[in-house]
Amino acid sequence: MIPTRSGKKFLLMLNGYTYSRVHYGQHWLCSSKAQGCTARVQRIYDGTVIRVNTEHTHPPPKYIIKNGSYFKV
């Protein structure tokens, strides 16, 4: 889990791709959904991934880690 800049929300990282949570549920959509990517992840409350579509329409984003924080490059 990666905290956003505001610190109020988190991104899920799986296989180098990031996903954002939908309506505080356990469904996560690819962070590039605005560009038409339909990849998604469904988790149950203990964190177990139960359903995945990892067919992305783009390469994974690149991040650097500095002082424990992720920065997209």
Structure confidence by residue, pLDDT tens digits, 1-51: 777 777 778 888 889 999 998 877 789 999 998 889 999 999 877 878 888
Q: What is the pLDDT of residue 69?
A: 80
Q: Give me the number of domains the chain comprises.
A: 1
pLDDT of residue 63: 86
The pair of structure tokens assigned to 53 is 């579509």
Residue 73 has pLDDT above 90, yes or no: no
Each residue's pLDDT tens digit, 44-64: 778 788 888 989 999 998 888
Domain of 23, in residue numbers: 2-72
What gap in Å lies between CA 63 and CA 5, rounded to an integer? 14
Q: Is 70 exposed, middle or buried (0-12, 13-18, 19+ CB in 10 A)?
A: middle
DSSP state letter for 37: -
Residue 33 has phi, psi (to 5 degrees) of: -60, -30
Q: State pTM to two decimals.
A: 0.78
